[in-house]
Amino acid sequence: MSIPTLDIADLRLAFRSHRGLSEVLHGISLTIETGETVALVGESGSGKSVTARLILGLLQELKNARVTGRISFNGEDLSGFSDTERRKLRGTAISMIFQDPTSALNPTYTIGTLFHEVLRRADPKIGWAAAIAEAEDALREVAIAEPGRVLNSYAFQLSGGMNQRVLIAMALANRPKLLIADEPGTALDVTVQAQTLKLMAELVEKHHTSVLFISHNLGVVREVADRVYVIYRGNIVESGPTRELFDNPQHPYTQALLAAVPRITGGGIPEIDDDPARFSAPLVAHGESA
Amino acid sequence: MRRTLYILLRNPLSVLGIVLIALVVLCALFADFIAPFPSHVGAVVDFSNFNQPPHWPNIMGTDLVGRDLFSRIVFAYRISLLLAAVVLVIAVPIGVVMGLVAGYFGGWVEYVLMRITDVFLSIPPLVLAMSIMGVLEPTLTNGMLAVTAMWWPWYTRLIYNITRAEKEEGYVLAAEIVGASKLHIIFREILPNCIPAIITKMTLDCGFVILIASSLSFLGLGVQPPTPDLGSMVAEGANYLPDSWWLSVFPGAAILLAVFGFNLLGDALRDVLGSEE
């Protein structure tokens, strides 16, 4: 068996507070093989994003935190890395896309300038012309028909879906080994989100990029992930191949999570008595005597 | 840029502001050609024609030693604008860098820098400038120094607040994720987003610096005679009100014109560039 792209073993995170240590991650273990897309699903506050931040080494509050466990990237233990080495890793070997694509692009620079900046992380000597040529190719890969126009635009001049595609192109521009997608496109409308995610899935397939896909959207997870980890209150409660886990959830939390997905059941819409006279009745305030 | 210009030119008030500022700047730049009696800037005495109301060729009258008021006002603009420019060129970078650093790093860096700022902000600006001028000799350079010392904290506070807000924006996180250095994030990512606010505040402040500098010299703590200064001209004439009204009314109106112009443009810029504060 080859070395996994990402291997997290017994990752624990605790914050120091006036009440002593409070642990928020209780021993997360997670593996992503090369070219695999792995989803980490759970509700808000379950520890999904904090895990991603730990992988990147980007936790602002780290001074007040205690981290134990091991994060290995391509077989190398990240805890032995200095800040500079980690910085070098980010943006070249590991990259990330996240929720709101428009806010992720600095409004004072054109997309072309931002692209140049990203490419310079991997190749500091790359010139403007070379960077633009490479950016145009990258944008064509995410189905942007007029890369020249987009590169000359600012983020606020483009649509959310367009920005999301730009971000995907940027995130993959340096051919990272691992892409962390933290609820990508949640800020977009559903159809656009689906399109861009499909694009992303095709691209990571093509470039054999491993993906850690963080989401609470089970419909999307089912589409893109090979394997799923379910996280609940800082614990991995269940994991397995996507299909198996969806068809036969074992843990009560997974069952509850799956049951919470709204479905079109075909039972018709419940009937509502839409007599206008009823809707113009005076407002009823509960708990107050008139 | 073109959009900003377009909106500015459609607003009559901002056009008035631009015209007033242009007038003041032209006066300052071409004072030698505009002033009918350029030699009256210095220590000239003409007792045959002293303390005269406006008449030709002294369209704003003459002062107590017979110098042409209009010529002196035109040259005083040069001093006022130079002072405003020097003060802002020194104070703004200091204030902005301190605000960026305090806002971005937080923690004890923020604590130390912002408390220093608070100390300066807690002293009434004119009092601070007066005490600095009182200790030092009242010269133009020291005047600039005093006004600069009271000016930078306002920029620190403005930029500190913006930085704190911008720091949470996605693009800062995105820059951190691609491994950008702290220096890069502060100066290349956050600073460009502060520029509109800085431009707006600088425009407004041009007027205020002129006003404060005039106040200082009104109190005799600014530029010393015979160099013409709007504030000291008003002070000089104040003793002869209301009979010799031209002595202080014209220099006073000159201050008003400049401050009014910068305020109008500054307000319009604030609306256009949509900066907070």
Q: What is the pLDDT of residues A26-78, one digit of tens each?
A: 888 999 999 899 999 988 888 888 888 888 887 666 677 888 888 999 888 88
Name the residue of chain A whose CA is nearest to B169's CA.
A103
**Residue A284, pLDDT score:** 52
Tally of CB atoms within 10 A around A36: 19
**Could you write out the DSSP letters of every residue in A84-113?**
HHHHHHBTTTEEEEES-TTTTS-TTSBHHH
Chain B's closest residue to A115, CA to CA, is: B178
DSSP letters spanning B72-108 = HHHHHHHHHHHHHHHHHHHHHHHHHHHHHHHHHH-HH
Cβ–Cβ < 8 Å for B234, B255: yes
Residue of B nearest to A54 (CA): B177
A118 contact B CB<8A: yes
- Using the Cβ of A186 and the Cβ atoms of chain B, whether some distance falls under 8 Å is answered with no
**For residue A139, what pLDDT band results from cuts at 50, 70 and 90?**
very high
From the list B103, B129, B135, B275, the residue with the least C-alpha distance to B209 is B129
Residue B177 with chain A: CB contacts under 8 Å:
56, 58, 90-91, 95-96
Range of B227's domain?
2-273
Say if the Cβ atoms of A104 and B173 lie within 8 Å.
yes
B contacts of A83 (beta carbons < 8 Å): none
Q: What would the mean pLDDT of A186-213 be, rounded to a whole number?
A: 86
Q: How far is CA A161 from the centre of its chain?
A: 16
Other C-beta atoms lying within 10 Å of the C-beta of residue B3: 8
Question: A28 - beta bridge partners?
Answer: A11
B176 CA: distance to closest CA in chain A (Å): 8
The pLDDT value given to residue B92? 95
3-state secondary structure of A6: strand
Are the beta carbons of A98 and A183 closer than 8 angstroms? yes
Q: Which residues of B fall within a CB distance of 8 Å from A56?
A: 177
Q: How far apart are CA A254 and CA A244, in angstroms?
A: 12
pLDDT, averaged across chain A: 84
| Per-residue model confidence (pLDDT) at position B52 | 78
Residues of chain B with Cβ-Cβ distance to A104 below 8 Å are: 170-171, 173-174
Interface test with B, best of A92, A97, A106 (most B CBs within 10 A): A106
Residue closest to B78 by CA, chosen among B111, B141, B29: B29
pLDDT digits (tens, 9 = 90+) for B112-142: 999 999 998 898 878 888 888 888 887 888 8
Phi, psi of A228 (to 5 degrees): -130, 135
Question: pLDDT-derived band of residue A271, with 50, 70 and 90 as boundaries?
Answer: low
A68 touching chain B per CB within 8 A: no
For the segment B182-221, what is each residue's pLDDT rounded down to a tens digit?
Answer: 899 999 999 999 998 999 999 999 999 999 888 888 888 7
Cβ contacts below 8 Å, chain A against chain B, sum to: 55
Residue A211 φ/ψ, nearest 5 degrees: -130, 130
We report the CATH number of the domain holding residue B200 as 1.10.3720.10
Please check whether residue A111 touches B, CB under 8 A: no
pLDDT at residue A223 in the model: 85
Q: Which of B170, B179, B193 sits opposite A104 (nearest CB)?
A: B170
Which chain B residue shows the shortest CA-CA distance from A155?
Answer: B171
CA distances from B180 to B175, B176, B194 (A): 5, 5, 19
Give dist(CA B40, CA B66) in Å, integer. Answer: 9
Is A175 a residue whose pLDDT tops 60? yes
When pLDDT is cut at 50, 70 and 90, the band that residue A288 belongs to is very low
Chain-chain contact of A96 with B177 (C-beta, under 8 angstroms): yes
Of A87, A99, A105, the CB nearest to B179: A87
Average pLDDT over residues A4-10: 90
Residue B135 CB neighbour total at 10 angstroms: 9
Nearest Cα residue to B159 out of B110, B220, B107, B219: B110
Q: How many residues does chain A have?
A: 290
Instruction: Report pLDDT for B20.
Output: 93
Q: Taking the CB of residue B115, how many other CB atoms lie within 10 A of it?
A: 10
Distance, CA of B204 to CA of B277 (rounded, Å): 12
Give the DSSP letter of residue B243: T
Specify whether the CB–CB gap between B138 and B227 falls below 8 A. Answer: no
Q: CB contact, 8 Å: A109 with chain B?
A: yes
Say which residue the tokens 């009560």 belong to: A252
| Sign (positive or negative) of CA dihedral A167, A168, A169, A175 | positive
What band does A176 get if pLDDT is binned at 50, 70 and 90? very high
Closest Cα in chain B, distance from residue A91 (Å): 4
Measured between beta carbons, the chain A residues lying within 8 angstroms of B197 are none
Closest CA of chain A from B267, distance in Å: 22
Alpha-helix residue ranges (DSSP H) falling in A241-283: 242-247, 252-259, 276-279
Query: Which residue from A minimizes the CA distance to B171?
Result: A104
Min Cα–Cα distance to chain A from B165, Å: 13
Burial category of B73 from C-beta neighbours within 10 Å (exposed 0-12, middle 13-18, buried 19 and up) = buried
Peptide bond into B242 cis (omega under 30): yes
- Is B126 in a helix, a strand, or coil? helix
* Measured distance CA(B222)–CA(A75) in Å, rounded: 70
- In tens, the pLDDT along A118-137 reads 998 888 899 999 999 999 99
* Complex ipTM value: 0.73
Cβ pair B191, B209 in contact under 8 A: no
Q: Which of A98, A110, A215 is nearest to A168 (CA)?
A: A98
A257 and A41 Cβ atoms separated by less than 8 Å: yes
A106 and B189 in contact by Cβ < 8 A? Answer: yes
CA dist B254 → B32, B165, B231 (Å): 18, 40, 10
| The total number of residues written for chain B in this structure | 277
Query: CATH code for A6-104+175-262?
Result: 3.40.50.300
Indicate yes or no: CB of B177 within 8 angstroms of CB of A91: yes
**CA closest to B174 among chain A residues:** A104
Does A103 contact chain B (CB < 8 Å)?
yes
Place of tokens 């256009």: B272
Confidence of residue A185 (pLDDT cuts 50, 70, 90): confident
All structural domains of chain A with their residue ranges: 6-104+175-262
Taking only residues 141 to 170 of chain B, the set having a beta carbon closer than 8 angstroms to any beta carbon of chain A reads 169-170
Q: Show pLDDT as tens, one digit a residue, over chain B (277 residues).
A: 777 788 888 888 889 999 999 999 998 888 888 888 877 777 777 777 787 778 788 878 788 777 888 988 998 898 889 989 999 999 999 999 999 999 999 889 999 999 999 998 898 878 888 888 888 887 888 888 888 988 999 999 999 999 999 998 888 988 888 878 889 999 999 999 999 899 999 999 999 999 988 888 888 877 777 788 888 888 888 888 888 888 888 999 999 999 999 999 998 888 888 644 3
Distance between CA atoms of residues B167 and B100, nearest Å: 10
Euclidean distance between CA atoms A112 and B211, whole angstroms: 44
Q: Check A91 against B178: CB less than 8 A apart.
A: yes
